[in-house]
Structure 1
């Protein structure tokens, strides 16, 4: 039985599109992983491309005509698949699960670095000195920004808890195919034993930026088909 009553969640503005723009999101995801590439070098790139192409082979049943040696070439190849496969960016997400486990033995620092690299350009709001935080205003602004960039989930909701924590729900997630496969293959655990979620990782980095507090999450329901995360300050 589900732990949460879905009717308790306040749903935010619905995106006017079912799925994000695939080429744009593919570029966004790959650009984020370039920050990780700088840390690990050629071994990261080689293995990242290998696992991404393995995912493409599973989902699309094809291999690239020309050899792919860089993340930019991989980005362009994945984007070219958008007419055949609606979630080309999932190949990159699946590759990251594999490479991070290969190089670190567990999901950890590399995922954090990717989150930091992609959130740094978000405009910082006023510093909040106490924990009387307008979380509804923050979430509505976040939702508005994501919709305008055409990278939002179709639906997103939240439930504010009395202790200052949040429960965030995505009724469906466009990264599910990558995350579910990684989970089934035992690749999705973080160092503390909880399940990794790139979307929630990004959300927590955003919350840190606009509240000046550190945030973390615990994925509490997933692939049901909704995903719910408990997000909290520390």
Structure 2
């Protein structure tokens, strides 16, 4: 199997129609400008909903229905869990990494395109826990950074890695490359575009609703970039979170 982008897809015309009907402000950008802009926003600490092409088939978001963030931020794991996924702050996140750079960041002897393999973070990227951390327990111990990419590093120094190639996902690869060029880090937090208890978003309407309901700052629908600060007030009846079953 070469790639898992086998689900439904939505083209430029469908995205444009959705945005026009809803009156949702968006900026259309050429691909190079788009990935450069999104990479800069991610490096600045903003959270991005990334909706591209055909949906993934399988258990993982692989860069077409993803929520992306900067893995270097020690607070990002808690921020994403509490403000975006609406679940416990300790839940782990996985890294997406450029396949050509993976061996420099993870002890992974092979590619892992489907985010199914776990590997230790490379020794050069790990951090020794300070002596004071030996006295910590529970969530306090969890918050101690264990690598230069703490948002995707588990307490045992491991990560569930996705390697990304230009062949199988050229636009996601281009975004990771732009982020590497800007920060020196070829890794992004990649978590599924949904909240606790809901399935991954399928179409532009579901992606927009998730964007507006949560702590996602920017939404990319194909070639279009939406900033939450520019959107009309989001209104719906009742508390939608009350309808979602707990895990």
Please confirm whether the aligned pair reaches a TM-score higher than 0.5, indicating the same fold. Answer: no
TM bracket, shorter-chain basis: under 0.3
- Which structure has more relative contact order (CA 8 Å, sep 6+)? It is 2
Per residue, is there more strand in 1 or in 2?
2
Per residue, is there more helix in 1 or in 2?
1
TM-score normalised by the chain length of structure 1: 0.27
